[in-house]
A and B are shown apart, each in its own frame.
Chain A
Amino acid sequence: MNVSTAPPALAGKRILIAKPGLDGHDAGAKVIALALRDAGADIIYTGLRKTPDYIARMAVDEDVHAVGLSILSGSHNELVNATATRLAELGASEIKIFVGGTIPVADHPGLRAAGAAEIFSAEMPLDAIVRRITELLQ
């Protein structure tokens, strides 16, 4: 499989890849950013250690279609909730949220209820993740 040969499914889409909280493991976030960029998306990456407030403001300022939150510290429940709440407060509920990292299956329903449109994990294929995000942004 080679993602770079895929048609530019995400051409014209703007996506913010964000690292909320204190977790410094950014390999997954960067891999997803590279895969989405290869699929034609405009990628903005926040860098590490951003608050949900910062991320929500950046998403609005940059006029993105989706925000990907990468969390491997176990603090996903608090951080996803806070980001979704902040986006709603800024009147930007239409921005889709997807989540990646080490998220136990038991926490999925809560995250979806909080506003996560999809939850990805490291063993999922990149092309399937790209396809699913493309679907979400149609």
Chain B
Amino acid sequence: MNTRRDAVSTDLSPRVPSHPPTLAVSTPSGLDVPAIVTAEMASHSAVGEPGRSPFTRSIFTDGYRGRLWTFRQYSGFGSAQETNERYHFLLRQGATGLSVALDLPTQCGYDPDDSMSSGEVGKVGVSVSTLADAELLFRGIDLGAISTSFTINGTAAILYAMYLAVADKTGVPRKKLTGTIQNDILKEYVARGTWIFPVRPSMRLIADTILFSTKETPRFNPISIAGAHVRDAGATAVEEMGYTLANGLAYVTELVGRGADPNAFAQRLSFFFYVHMDLFEETAKFRAGRRLWAKLLAEKFGVTDPRALMFRFGVVCGGSSLTAAQPYNNIVRVAIENMAAVLGGAQSIFTCAYDEAFQIPTEFSAELAVRTQQIVAYESGVGRTVDPLGGSYYVEWLTDRMEEEIRKVIRDIDDYGGVERAIEEGYIQARVAQRAYLRKQRRESGEDTVVGENHFRNDSTKHDFGEMFRMNPNTTSNVLARLAEVRRSRDAGRVSTALAALEVATLNPQENVMPYLIECCRAYATVGEMVERLKRNWGEFKEPIRL
């Protein structure tokens, strides 16, 4: 019997393309690649030496011999207590850096007891609403001995203030702190969407954090200018790098406008990208981006200090390149992507767990992701000598081509009137959505081969993903109980004084709000309370609706 439901589910299942897979002759960004790349085609003169600007080959003279990349695993879920336990587990497995995933209320500036947070507490990351949560999150971990990366943007300044408050309370000198806050609001308007304030005050808040960090936490990265999410939302490798460098230039312009010296602060700028499956395009993307950033800072801002010209970046392997179909295939994909990131010279790498495309990783899959990095690092030999692909006809030619195309993306935004205008009017957002539509069509038609998903399918193994991670059903009530306790036991007078001072500070664009945020955190003011005060004078971003 063929019921309606059966007919529908058959209709909606992915179809095998009518033609066999073909070997693509152009890269995923659409660059046509000749069958033979000759020595004459690449401008080897631009390659230069490792450790020398414009750093095509590496920002270091000794590659990974001096220091291996950081193995950084993204993790965070539920309550601070549960995440703290996962951190201790990852550190025992050999992770050398922590990466904090925060839930959406924390990222968007709502407290867990706000009606906007309903159903979202602890879902995609850990809930941190007051200093009490931050203290619990890092309990038993020496903040002077590890580096911590926070995927946080709209409320980055507040989470940074909390981290400083924890360090202060546990006696760790601020100068010893290492780690990163993502703090890249421009790409949030384009993809990922955790914006709060309009573009102008957001740029001021970011400048405040960078200026504060340059003085107080000189080893900490106060921004990680990120292309990963725009890539995941649809952009090509070329566009990922182009939009990211354009955003980077916008932050530099903002800071120069505040009177800061780019030779000093540019040393603290770091970047963050996705790496997908095209090994050489990805490697060339990193080499071209590194070279172009150094050139652009020198050309546009007259930066001369080589340390300020260094393009330091982290990478995440996985994301939209991973499939729910035959999930164990993702283990192989992540290993290849990990190699591309190393060949491109990344300073830190996250490897996605094979099940990360559809659930919070289990301990088993999280451990396998760390093992992948260890195998690439210690068994494959790719990090033995600096930039092992340097001088390859293909890789040098492709690096040149990528640089040309990335420059075109930056010029296109300049022609539109700059990043801020392009974002406020939804220009970049609409371009990325069109790309996503195109990518989906190419994947469905089988033009882009995704093994196990469109070509080489085996439906009998489709839903085989081992054990499932289960969320603790009591997370929300535990989080709410803790917050209620903090609200009850804190010094209400100190809280209102601190919040009032913060609000006054927002009115003076020459004032740095960081010290006010730190005092709010110390007083156990909530993230929602601080954001509410910032909104009073700054307002909220009005999202352009443009398809």
Establish whether residues B444 and A1, one from each chain, have CB atoms under 8 Å apart when the complex forms. yes
Chain B: minimal CB distance from A10 (Å):
15
A78 with B325: CB separation less than 8 A? no
Residue from B105, B323, B444, B545 within 8 A of A22 (CB atoms): B105
Q: B192 to A25, Cβ gap below 8 A?
A: yes
- A 106-130 to B, binary, CB cutoff 8 A, 1 in contact else 0: 0000000000001011011110110
Q: State whether A47 touches B543 (Cβ < 8 A).
A: yes
The CA of A1 and the CA of B440, in the complex, are separated in Å by 10
Of the listed residues A24, A34, A125, A128, the one surrounded by the most CB atoms of chain B closer than 10 A to its CB is A24
Q: How far is the CA of A37 from the CA of B547 in the complex (A)?
A: 10
**Pair B104/A73 contact, Cβ less than 8 Å:** yes
Q: Is A33 an interface residue (CB 8 A)?
A: yes
0 or 1 for each of B87-127: is its CB under 8 Å from A? (1 = yes): 00000000000000000110110100001111110011000
B510 within 8 Å of A (CB atoms): no
User: Are B124 and A74 within 8 A (Cβ)?
Assistant: yes
A75 to chain B, nearest CB (A): 4
Q: Tell me, yes or no, whether B445 is within 8 Å of chain A by CB.
A: yes
Q: Which of the residues A21, A30, A125 comes within 8 Å of B119, measured between beta carbons?
A: A21
Q: Quick one: which of B13, B358, B440, B463 contacts A126, CB cutoff 8 A?
A: B440
Asked whether any CB of chain A lies closer than 8 Å to the CB of B203, the reply is no
A25-B192, A27-B233, A48-B543 as given contacts; A3 in contact with B441, CB under 8 Å: yes
Interchain CB contact under 8 A, B441 and A24: no
Tell me whether B8 is interfacial, beta carbon within 8 Å: yes
Verify if B453 is at the interface (C-beta below 8 Å from A): yes
Q: Is B12 an interface residue (CB 8 A)?
A: yes
Are B193 and A31 in contact, with the CB atoms below 8 A? no
**Interface residues in B188-214 (C-beta closer than 8 Å to A):** 188, 191-194
| Bound form: Cα–Cα A74–B33 in Å | 41
Question: In the complex the two chains form, what is the Cα distance from A115 to B463 in whole Å?
Answer: 26
Interface magnitude class on chain A: 35 or more
Q: Complex Cα distance A70/B323, Å?
A: 19
Question: Number of residues in B with C-beta < 8 Å to the partner?
Answer: 47
Contact in complex: B441, A22 (CB < 8 Å): no
Distance from B182 Cβ to chain A, minimum over Cβ atoms (Å): 13
- Give Cα distance in the complex from A22 to B122, angstroms: 12
User: Does A85 sit at the interface, judged by CB under 8 A?
Assistant: no
Min CB gap A77→B, angstroms: 7
Near B by CB (< 8 A), chain A positions 49-88 give 49, 51, 73-75, 77-79, 82
Could you tell me the distance between the alpha carbons of A51 and B193 in the complex, rounded to whole angstroms?
A: 15
A94 to B233, CA, bound (A): 33
Given contacts A1-B441, A21-B119, contact A129 B12 (CB under 8 A): yes
Residues of A within 8 A of B13 (CB): 124
Q: Which of A37-52 contact B (CB under 8 A)?
A: 37, 43, 45-49, 51
Q: Are A73 and B232 in contact (CB under 8 A)?
A: no
Q: How far is the CB of A91 from chain B (nearest CB, A)?
A: 23
Residues of chain B with a CB closer than 8 A to A26's CB: 191, 193, 233, 433
Find out whether the CB atom of A27 lies under 8 angstroms from the CB atom of B104: no
- Does B120 contact A35, Cβ atoms closer than 8 Å? no
Contact indicator B234/A73 (Cβ below 8 Å)? no
The 8 closest A-B pairs by CB, nearest first: A24-B193, A78-B119, A22-B104, A30-B433, A75-B119, A27-B233, A47-B543, A27-B436
Binding site for B on A (CB under 8 A): 1-3, 21-28, 30-31, 33-35, 37, 43, 45-49, 51, 73-75, 77-79, 82, 102, 104-105, 118, 120-121, 123-126, 128-129, 131-132
Besides A120-B12, A121-B324, A123-B453, 15 other CB < 8 A contacts? A21-B104, A22-B107, A27-B191, A27-B233, A30-B437, A34-B547, A43-B547, A49-B108, A49-B116, A73-B104, A73-B123, A75-B123, A123-B14, A126-B440, A126-B441
* 7 residue pairs A–B, Cβ–Cβ below 8 Å: A22-B105, A27-B234, A34-B547, A48-B193, A105-B463, A125-B12, A132-B12
